[in-house]
Amino acid sequence: MHDVLKPVLVPIHREGWPFIAAFVIGAAILGWIWAPLYIPGVLLAAWCVYFFRNPDRVTPTRSGLVISPADGVVQTIGPAAPPEELDMGAEPLTRISVFMNVFNVHVNRIPTDGTIDKLSYRPGKFVNASLDKASVDNERQAVRMKTADGRTVAFVQIAGLVARRILCTLTIGQDVRAGERFGMIRFGSRVDVYLPEGVAALVCVGQTCIAGETVLADLATAETERKGATR
C-alpha cells in the first residue's frame, strides 16, 4: 500500500505550511459567507498544497554532470555575461534558462558537485520571468561554485511576475552535491545556469526539465550543442 500511495502523498516543503493554513482558513471563511464560495476556496487550497510539494528525485551521480536546478521548460540557451556581482568577468558564457510556471515544483536543486564560493542577493523588479530582461532587471539570488577540477559554474534564482520571496539556504564554503535541495522561489520564476567556457548545452529550447534529474550539460565531454525537434 505504501508503494502505491508514495507517488500521491508527496512531501510538502516547510515553507508552504503557513500558506496552506491561510488558504484553508480562507476557504472556510468563504464557505461561511456564502456556501457556493466554499468550492473555489477548497480548489485554491488544494492548488497551494500542490505548489509546495517537495518530491524526492533520482539524480545521476557521475562526476561532471550538470543537472537541472529547476522543474520547467528550457526558455533560452545562448551566450550571456554572468551577473556582474559574481565577479566572473564580462565575457559571455553559455546560459541555460529554465522557466517555472505556477504548476511546477518550485524547490531548487544544486546543479553539480562542488563548493560554494560566492553568494549575492540583488533586489529588483518582478517582470515576467519568461522575458530575457528578467535576468538583468528582476530580483535575484546569484550563486557561484567551484567544481572539484577547479572550473566555475554559476546559477541564479530569478523572481517572476508574482514571486515575492527567494529562499536560498546555501553558505560560502559549503560543499554540495548535485541534486541536493538548496531553496525555492514562491509563485512563478526562473533559474539560469552559466556553464564554463567551452561546455555545450545538452538540452534544447522548449524541452521540459526535471530538477535533480535532467542532465543540462557534461563537463567531462566535448559533445557539441544538441538540436531538437517537436514531434
Q: What is the pLDDT of residues 124-167, one digit of tens each?
A: 776 666 666 667 778 899 999 999 899 999 999 998 766 567 89
- Name the grid cell of 157: 534564482
Residues 45, 74 within the same domain: no
Domain membership of residue 43 as a residue range: 2-51
CATH classification of the domain holding 200: 2.70.70
What tens digit of pLDDT does each residue of 186-199 get? 776 899 999 999 99
Beta bridge partners of 184: 107, 167
Are residues 191 and 148 located together in one domain of the fold?
yes
Is residue 182 in a domain?
Answer: yes
**Pair 134, 176 in one domain:** yes
63 in active site: no
User: Looking at the DSSP assignment, which residues form a beta bridge with residue 94?
Assistant: 79
Nearest to 74 by CA among 214, 222, 224, 198: 214
* Domain-embedded: residue 225: no
CB proximity list for 94: less than 8 A, separation 6 or greater:
77, 78, 79, 194, 195, 199, 200, 201, 217
Predicted confidence at residue 129, as pLDDT, reads 61
Closest alpha carbon to 78 in 230, 223, 201 = 201
- Residue 67 φ then ψ, to 5°: -105, 145
**pTM to 2 decimal places:** 0.87
Question: Would residue 56 count as lying in a domain?
Answer: no
Residues 128, 205 within the same domain: yes
Question: Is the pLDDT at 81 greater than 50, yes or no?
Answer: yes
> Is residue 94 in a domain?
yes
From 97, 130, 135, 189, the catalytic residue: 189
Whether 179 and 212 have beta carbons less than 8 Å apart is answered as yes
- Which CA distances in Å does 107 have to 14, 45, 102, 215? 11, 19, 12, 17
**Same domain, yes or no: 32 and 142:** no
The enclosing H or E element of 216 equals strand 215-218
User: Which residue's C-alpha cell is 509546495?
Assistant: 52
Per the prediction, the chain carries an average pLDDT of: 88
Structurally, how many domains does the chain consist of?
A: 2
Whether residue 110 sits in one domain with residue 13 = no
Residue 12 maps to a domain? yes
99, 37: one domain: no
pLDDT digits (tens, 9 = 90+) for 35-72: 888 899 899 988 888 888 999 999 999 999 999 999 99
